[in-house]
């Protein structure tokens, strides 16, 4: 039984995030508690176990028991994630604005790189935002033009597991569940640090009529 899912295990061990977009079959497999237990049992000697974000939309491996060197490694890793956090949030905002989406990007959303490039190309404010984005350490691109910059951004997103490219030769990408992980992490920081966010609720119809 396990043999069939050796690919899933390899992905997990290689530090991959498993969601319904990246590995639908593997993700379904992980929905079964018994299978999860089997994997956990297997991972025990490696001091690893399965972990997920609070909603269970994305799975990855966590340390089973933490030692000081492992904690230090986690601290370091968290610092690196933090460095990518602001550029990532800005990217979410940029795509939302560019596509005229009502909501922030979420897992299963489809992005077409060419479409996105064309829209940014025609809007100086979006171009500026992209320019600022590629100057961050996380996305850094030397490219002068929008399509080159966007290519770099997409390559980075793909290599960090935020985007899944179903066909290598096509330009559409699917947002993976790792974005949920990033949002959850952001929420966690917000709650831990008691960061106040002002809720500017849009006026409802009644308010407008009143």
Query: Does 112 sit near other proteins (CB under 8 A)?
Result: no
State yes or no: residue 110 binds other proteins (CB under 8 A): no
Q: Residue 167: which residues within 8 A CB-CB, separation 6 or more?
A: none
Shortest approach of other proteins to residue 51 CB, angstroms? Answer: 4
Q: Which of 18, 19, 92, 150 binds other proteins (CB under 8 A)?
A: 92
- 3-state DSSP assignment of residue 63: strand
Q: What are the C-alpha distances in Å from 92 to residues 1, 54, 104, 154, 205?
A: 39, 21, 6, 12, 29
- CB of 195 vs other proteins, minimal distance in Å: 5
Torsion of CA 119, 124, 130, 134, to 10 degrees: 130
CA 203 from chain center: how many Å?
A: 32
- What CA–CA distance (Å, rounded) separates 180 from 164? 14
Match 């490694």 to its residue by tokens.
73
2 contributes a contact to other proteins by CB under 8 A: no
> Interface with other proteins includes 33 (CB under 8 A)?
no
Find where tokens 């990532």 sit. Answer: 88
Of 35, 38, 40, 90, which one interacts with other proteins (CB under 8 A)? 90
- What minimum distance in Å lies between the beta carbon of 54 and other proteins? 8
169 DSSP 8-state letter: T
Q: Which of 67, 75, 123, 135 binds other proteins (CB under 8 A)?
A: 75
Q: Which residues are registered as beta bridge partners of 18? A: 59
* 62/118 with CB nearer other proteins: 62
Size of the site for other proteins (CB under 8 A): 58
For the bound state, the minimum distance from the C-beta of residue 184 to other proteins, rounded and expressed in Å, comes to: 6
> Would you state the structure tokens that stand for residue 99, as one six-digit string?
């596509």
How crowded is residue 128: how many other Cβ atoms within 10 Å of its Cβ?
11
Q: Based on the shown chain and the rule CB under 8 A, indicate whether residue 62 belongs to the binding site for other proteins.
A: yes
Residue 156-195 contact track with other proteins, rule CB under 8 A, x = bound? ---xxx-------------------x-xxxxxxxx-xx-x
Where do contacts with other proteins occur on this chain (CB under 8 A)?
A: 9-11, 13-16, 46-48, 51-54, 60-63, 66, 71-75, 77-78, 82, 86, 89-90, 92-93, 102-104, 106, 159-161, 181, 183-190, 192-193, 195, 197-199, 201-202, 204-205
């Amino acid at each position: 039984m396990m043999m069939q899912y050796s690919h899933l295990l390899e992905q997990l061990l290689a530090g991959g995030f498993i969601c319904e977009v990246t590995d639908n079959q593997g993700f379904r497999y992980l929905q079964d508690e018994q299978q999860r237990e089997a994997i956990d049992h297997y991972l025990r000697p490696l001091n690893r176990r399965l972990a997920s974000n609070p909603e269970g939309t994305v799975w990855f491996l966590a340390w089973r028991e933490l030692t000081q060197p492992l904690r230090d490694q986690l601290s370091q890793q968290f610092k690196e994630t933090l460095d990518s956090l602001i550029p990532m949030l800005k990217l979410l905002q940029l795509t939302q604005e560019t596509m005229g989406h009502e909501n922030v990007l979420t897992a299963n959303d489809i992005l077409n790189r060419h479409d996105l490039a064309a829209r940014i190309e025609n809007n100086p404010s979006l171009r500026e935002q992209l320019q600022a984005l590629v100057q961050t350490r996380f996305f850094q691109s030397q490219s002068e033009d929008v399509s080159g910059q966007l290519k770099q951004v997409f390559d980075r997103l793909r290599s960090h597991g935020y985007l899944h490219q179903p066909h290598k030769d096509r330009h559409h990408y699917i947002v993976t569940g790792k974005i949920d992980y990033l949002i959850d992490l952001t929420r966690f920081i917000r709650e831990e640090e008691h960061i106040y966010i002002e809720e500017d609720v849009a006026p409802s119809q009644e308010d407008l009529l009143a």
